[in-house]
Chain A
Amino acid sequence: MHLLLTLVQDMILAAIPAVGFALVFNVPPRALVYCAAGGAIGHGVRMLLLAAGVPIEWGTLFAASLVSFLGVYYAQKLRAHPKVFTVAAMIPMIPGVPLFTTLLAIVEIQRSGYTPELFSTALSSGLKAAFIVGALAIGLAMPGLIYYRRRPIV
């Protein structure tokens, strides 16, 4: 019961940023609801996988692939490329904090000198950010890599 409540809260909190950033990307109004659904499903599935002990990169890859396969179906109904709304749905999973932590740690090494702690912060959060972004992009590309190999999705 507690897990279900956390899941619902997590999905709502992920759907709002997906729509918020869809506004920045000027996603057509009709597709906004798909952004919200994709953001909620992706982040919710990843949260469940993380709770089950799956590493974050693999959880992200699975969640992104799932959203992308669902996106293909709605893209064909909408007559638009799935990336039009699936990228906005990935925004809640983008590792923004690790990305900025890496760069700030690097700048800090330059400002106040090398320490092993700063270096390890830079390296570990940088790798985390890179792997999660990679998992998101490859997950989104999954329908094209697996199923629509030599033909267009829309």
Chain B
Amino acid sequence: MDPVSRRLLKELNDYQREAHNHPEIIELTPADDEDLTHWRATIAGLDQTPFQGGLWNLDVKIPHNYPMQPPTVKFITQICHPNVHFKTGEICLDLLKTAWSPAWTLKSTILAISLLLSNPEPSSPLNCDAANLLRCGDLVGYESMIRMYTQLFAMKMTEEDQ
């Protein structure tokens, strides 16, 4: 078994042992048994946030020189968030680019994305409309827009999300 697969298997075992500590991660698993370099994840919106009640699927691609290079993660389920591209699901998070370190794991990466939901960074937006509402201080408008799109896209799983 190659070194990358060995590390990923270890991450899988570690995550499964501690999954109960991370209720915000609904699922984190290889997409199929034969290919450990492609995973899928599902995260839940936290209570007391406008994302509450939503479930988002993420696609996780692991490069051949992982963990020297970060995984590529994007949203499959559509989401309205200042740091996520509304159409492509691309995520703007320094951890996934310049701030990556091999000390991170897939689990901690997915947890960081889950935290990004309720801690947006409007100064580096991929969704300018959502970011602008925050930047001009319209929290009511921002939260009601998030709630609307959460209900629209993330409250029931469609077949293509699976």
Decide whether A and B are members of one complex: no
Interface residues of B, Cβ cutoff 8 Å to A: none
